[in-house]
Structure 1
Amino acid sequence: MDDSRHTSPDGGEPPRRNTLPEAGADHSGQSEPPRWRPPPQPAFNLPTALTVTLALLILLYLVDAYVLNEDARGLVLFELAFTPLRYVYPLGQQGLEWLWTPVTYSLLHGGVEHIVFNSLWLTAFGAPVVRRIGTVRYVLFWMTSAAAAAFFHAALNWGQETLLIGASGVVSALMGAACRFAFPKEGGGMRRMKAHVLPRQGIVGALRNRTVLVFTLLWFFGNVLIAFGLPLVGSDMGAIAWDAHIGGFLFGYLLFGLFDPLPSESEIA
């Protein structure tokens, strides 16, 4: 039988050249085949609705701060900011501002720190909520939570000529909503890309999660400090409506089930 190996004159193996393997050749003799790796996740992978929200908030702030004059800013505040004083007078004897200002105030901001602070928290807690409930429910959640935060503020400041602006009431509601599902039951922090698929925990059951309980207690403690006049952020923020924060958080935590299309933990069981 013909031997396919050729030997050198002295009987040894012939010298071998270092060549690249041919295309289509069997490489089973190599140490290890290349492994599939998932593509890296981008640092900011936000839902479109949230990206549009952030862009709108920033655009409105830039126009208000750098385009409008003082008279125009005053008109914007009158037409779009929320004030408890408006509801002391008969609604039929005034314009329709009482109808939309419980929502539109949440789109205005009073300074750089104000909008940066709210945008960061909106990014962190808004992303899992938007991924979970979708764009339409997110818009409804924004509108109703803004109104809930505004009227909670009005209940504690009835008849006062205070102006309420900023998205912090809605952001607080998103925090409360996230506490119902975004933190794993077994403990640990919020999972950035998988938080939105976790089952919704009950109102009482979520507080059995140590992470949720500690976060909630610290959050309320911080707002109590603000209520007693201890600022936790810079002076550019102005007077902080801690009561709107609490109203928003309670709305999001207690009523998130009305917006959640996914089953709760008990429904899965």
Structure 2
Amino acid sequence: MDDAEPPRHEPDENRPPQRVPAFNVPPVILASLGLLIVVFAIQNLPWWSDETLNWLYFTFSFIPARYAFPLSQQGLEWLWTPVTYSLLHGSIEHIAFNGLWLMVFAAPVARRIGVARYVIFWIFSAAASAFLHAVIYWGDQTLLIGASGVVSGLMGAACRFAFPAMDTRRFGIRQAHLNPRLSIAASLRSRTVVAYIVMWIAGNALVAFGITIVGDSAQPVAWDAHIGGFLFGFLLFSLFDRQPRIEVENSAPSAE
């Protein structure tokens, strides 16, 4: 019997390049955007009365004044409003701006930590943003709505692994979720991360003084909630992170 000819492997440089979609957003991010759009559409149904709208905002917006009084004397809104406020938006500009940044910064985080951890991260980053807002505006009766705090949390989380790719060039931008997680100290030694944080702080400082560069300038912006979310994502991302599969494979002992 003749020996079978071994399969021929075409050199990598001769293989046609794989086509990478120009717009590739994880399904959980698309689901998040869809949920925000559906909630916004419900908010703006034309047949709502003023009383119904007031009930909707009172029941699902975050109000710092709720926590300045004994919770036993209130309803149960204080339980869910630290999260549900992040699903409400006040205008098309508001939801469009948050949706854009959600696609940019949530995509690498979602690819890295998976659906379940992404949902948990959303819940806790929303609560952290609301907590700092409540501390600064203790007893205030204004309403806090919008996903900006969560988006800021995702920005802070991305600083721990996504931006260093620009320094090390270990993976391309589309594979940034495969980068090893940096410690807080190592992140602050990255020129890319530091430059981004400085620009982010400068932008929120302008907002604090009433200067809105992008987004909806017709409504006050809760810059403090942004800071709460960012600090949560940057400082506590390791609690939600999981080691990238490529790192696990490379660290596994090989048999000789």
Q: 2:126 aligns with which of 108, 123, 146?
A: 146
Write the deviation string for residues 23-81 of structure 1: whole angstroms up to 9, x where unpaired: xxxxxxxxxxx943244222221111111000010111122123434322211101100
1:25-36 matches, within 5 Å, as 35-36=14-15
Gaps of 5+ in 1: 1-33
TM-score, structure 1 length as denominator? 0.81
**Structure 1 position 113, deviation (Å):** 0.7
1:126-165 matches, within 5 Å, as 126-165=106-145
Structure that is richer in helix per residue: 2
Write the deviation string for residues 180-212 of structure 1: whole angstroms up to 9, x where unpaired: 000235628994420111000010111111111
Alignment partners' CA distance in 1, 2:99 and 2:208:
22
Preserved contact between residue 105 and residue 155 of structure 2 (Cα < 8 Å): yes
State the AA in 1 paired with 2:199: L
Gaps of 5+ in 2: 1-12, 252-256
Q: Secondary structure at the match of 2:167?
A: coil
Which 10-residue stretch deviates more, 248-257 or 202-211? Answer: 202-211
**Structure possessing the higher radius of gyration over alpha carbons:** 1
Write the deviation string for residues 82-130 of structure 1: whole angstroms up to 9, x where unpaired: 0100111110111100000000000000001100000000000000000
Which 10-residue stretch deviates more, 190-199 or 151-160? Answer: 190-199
1:18-97 matches, within 5 Å, as 35-67=14-46, 68-97=48-77
Change (3 A) 1:235 1:47: closer
State the AA in 2 paired with 1:37: P
Write the deviation string for residues 136-187 of structure 1: whole angstroms up to 9, x where unpaired: 0001000000000001011000001111000000000000000000023562
Q: 2:175 aligns with which of 194, 201, 222?
A: 194
Q: Secondary structure at the match of 2:232?
A: helix
Q: 1:219 aligns with which of 200, 225, 236?
A: 200
Identity %: 55
Preserved contact between residue 105 and residue 158 of structure 2 (Cα < 8 Å): yes
State the AA in 2 paired with 1:253: F
Alignment partners' CA distance in 2, 1:231 and 1:259:
32
State the AA in 2 paired with 1:51: L
Alignment partners' CA distance in 2, 1:93 and 1:241:
27
Write the deviation string for residues 10-35 of structure 1: whole angstroms up to 9, x where unpaired: xxxxxxxxxxxxxxxxxxxxxxxx94
Q: Secondary structure at the match of 1:194?
A: helix
Aligned to 1:10: none
Q: Secondary structure at the match of 1:66?
A: coil
Aligned to 2:234: 253
What's the RMSD between the two structures over aligned residues? 2.0
State the AA in 2 paired with 1:154: A
Does structure 1 residue 243 correspond to structure 2 residue 243? no
Alignment partners' CA distance in 1, 2:68 and 2:124:
21
State the AA in 2 paired with 1:40: R
Does structure 1 residue 121 correspond to structure 2 residue 101? yes
Aligned to 1:184: 164
Alignment partners' CA distance in 2, 1:201 and 1:235:
34
Number of residue pairs the alignment of both structures matches: 232
Alignment partners' CA distance in 2, 1:81 and 1:191:
39
Preserved contact between residue 165 and residue 176 of structure 2 (Cα < 8 Å): no
TM-score, structure 2 length as denominator? 0.85
